Amino acid sequence: LTFPLLSVTLLVSFGSSMLYGYNLAVVNSPAEHIKAFYNATWSQRYGHGLAPGPLTLLYALTVSIFALGGLLGSLLVGVLVEQFGRNGALSHSALLVLLAGGFMGFSRELGSPEMVIIGRSITGLHSGGCVLGCAQPLPHGSVPYSHSRGHGEGFVFPTGSNLRGFLGLMPSIFICLGVFSAQVLGLPELLGKDRFWPLFLSVVVVPASLQLLLLHCFPESPRYLLIERNDICGATKALQRFQGTPDVQDVIEEMKEEQRSLSSMEMVSVWQLLRDRSVRWQTLSVVVLNAGMQLSGIDAIWFYTNTIFENAGIPVSQIPYTTMATGAIEVVAGLIGCFTIERVGRRPLVITGFCAMGVCSAGITISLLLQAALPWMRYVSVACVVGIIAGFCMGPAGVPFLMTAELFMQSHRPAAYIVGGSLNWLCNFTVGFIFPFLQMSAGAFCYLVFCGVCLLVALYVYLVIPETKNKTFVEISQIFA
């Protein structure tokens, strides 16, 4: 990895994937403070407070509307990238984050819960565009695997590079770091106090501002410059800087070949993809992986960690530090997955991760049922939460995005990303919105739903999806056939 390539990858991940992770966890620790603000504002406006049900509904909307914004962002990002390029799309998205930070930061001063909800939806719009549209395809989303084992947006890597899986999971590392940073800043000694929660929510402007300032220091995507803008000179200079060598003619010729093939290639729409029998198992696999990734319960853990620990009987004073410890383990697990994916392959990481999550989800149910008789079961609950997070970050966190690119040829890949990304955000919204009510109605048994989902997805991957490591699309399609 050359320094410019590593730098731009880190910058994009820091301002995109890390922000996504931060926004997943930022509503966890200030939940009671935000609810109190909503209740007080409602009382000032209408002369009476909110009942527990409507208050839970309003807060669940605040948490989950992030995913609806993400869904819209993932559908719009293609237009932005085509119009402005990767750097331009990221810059426009960063401006949205600054707007969202302003809404959330001044919401209490202006007595407006609506500003918190609007700010959350705008941050979701940013994450939907950047994480699934700009940051994720940076390592792998545009490589024509049908004729190349190469890696990287814009053919930054030489053919035969084995970094496809490593950099494919790098955004998931930054998602883990974003979650961990939200847990650290949410400690009572930092921004976890009642008077600081608007500032806590608006911290998102810091990485967005840094990305906005530094993006102009790096060249645009070589692939975008050559294929979309036909700027051979600009693409050559960008490649030379990224690769650290003046000899990039072979890569330029490969990109020209792709440009010629794309000009004669008809891109498949989502409807055509869903009706194409030749890739129906690949399409079903994308559906199962992306829906299973969110319905596994990981979003419930991230959104409502403190509530889960409180119900498990952990003393309130210890909950923020317990949550932070789970975040640290999450980062370590993500690093393990990132550095082992090219050794062990995609399937073992996904199957092991989902199985671990399923077993731990069942473990939470058992520990909650027995904690009245056995007080030490509360620590089993904590261990199971750690197991769910570690299992997710080792494989299911990033491998589904990577495999979406590897299962399809170039003509089908954009439609596959739309299907996978849309399901991802819809399921994220479903879990974030429904989990508080599921927890109230089903109690400890609500985690058995996640257990069933995880084990069924693991079984599907074991029976249907082949290993894709170091395989071209033609080889993968032959295995499916």
Whether 188 contacts 415, CB under 8 Å: no
Domain with CATH 1.20.1250.20 in the chain: 1-138+159-218, 271-480
Say which residue, 242 or 387, is predicted with more confidence: 387
User: What is the C-alpha separation between 54 and 46, in angstroms, rounded?
Assistant: 14
CB atoms within 10 A of CB 316: 9
Q: Region 227-245: what's the mean pLDDT?
A: 81
Whether 387 contacts 360, CB under 8 Å: yes
392: tokens are 């997710």
| Range 271-480: architecture per CATH | Up-down Bundle (1.20)
**Is residue 26 over pLDDT 70?**
yes
139: tokens are 């390592």
Question: Cα 50 vs. chain centroid, distance in angstroms?
Answer: 33
Whether 185 contacts 203, CB under 8 Å: yes
CB atoms within 10 A of CB 240: 17
CA Rg value for the chain = 22
User: What is the C-alpha separation between 126 and 113, in angstroms, rounded?
Assistant: 21
Q: Region 422-451: what's the mean pLDDT?
A: 88
User: What is the C-alpha separation between 234 and 240, in angstroms, rounded?
Assistant: 10
pLDDT of residue 451: 94
Q: Region 426-454: what's the mean pLDDT?
A: 89
Q: What pLDDT, in 10s, does the model give residues 171-182? A: 778 888 888 899
What pLDDT band is residue 116 in, cutting at 50, 70 and 90? very high
Whether 56 contacts 174, CB under 8 Å: no
pLDDT of residue 140: 33
**Is residue 79 over pLDDT 90?**
no
**What sign for the dihedral angle of Cα 331, 465, 16, 179?**
negative
User: What is the C-alpha separation between 131 and 366, in angstroms, rounded?
Assistant: 36
Q: Region 188-198: what's the mean pLDDT?
A: 90
pLDDT of residue 94: 85
User: What is the C-alpha separation between 450 and 69, in angstroms, rounded?
Assistant: 24
Give percent of the chain above pLDDT 70. Answer: 88
What pLDDT band is residue 139 in, cutting at 50, 70 and 90? very low
Q: Return the closest-CA partner of residue 296 out of 395, 442, 417.
A: 395
* CATH placement of domain 1-138+159-218: 1.20.1250.20
What pLDDT band is residue 144 in, cutting at 50, 70 and 90? very low
**Is residue 129 over pLDDT 70?**
yes
**Is residue 167 over pLDDT 70?**
no
Q: What's the Cα-to-Cα distance from 139 to each of 32, 47, 157, 399, 410, rounded to whole Å?
A: 39, 54, 9, 13, 15
Q: What is the DSSP letter of 146?
A: T
Q: What pLDDT, in 10s, does the model give residues 280-318? A: 888 999 999 999 988 988 888 877 787 888 877 788 888
Residue 264 neighbours by CB under 8 Å, 6+ apart:
none
pLDDT of residue 90: 79
Q: Region 77-105: what's the mean pLDDT?
A: 82
Lowest mean pLDDT among 110-119, 205-214, 306-315: 306-315
Tally: H helices and E strands in the chain? 24, 0
Question: Cα 333 vs. chain centroid, distance in angstroms?
Answer: 16
Q: What pLDDT, in 10s, does the model give residues 62-77? A: 999 999 998 888 888 7
Q: What pLDDT, in 10s, does the model give residues 327-366? A: 888 888 878 877 777 777 788 888 999 999 999 999 989 9
**Is residue 145 over pLDDT 60?**
no
| Exposure b/e, 320-351, CB count within 10 A at least 16 = b | bebbbebbebbbebbbebbebbbeebbbbbbb
Tell the residue number behind the tokens 């729409």, with chain if given: 269
Q: What pLDDT, in 10s, does the model give residues 356-392? A: 999 999 998 998 888 878 888 888 888 888 889 888 8
- On average, the pLDDT of the chain sits at 81
pLDDT of residue 303: 77
Amino acid symbol at 180: F
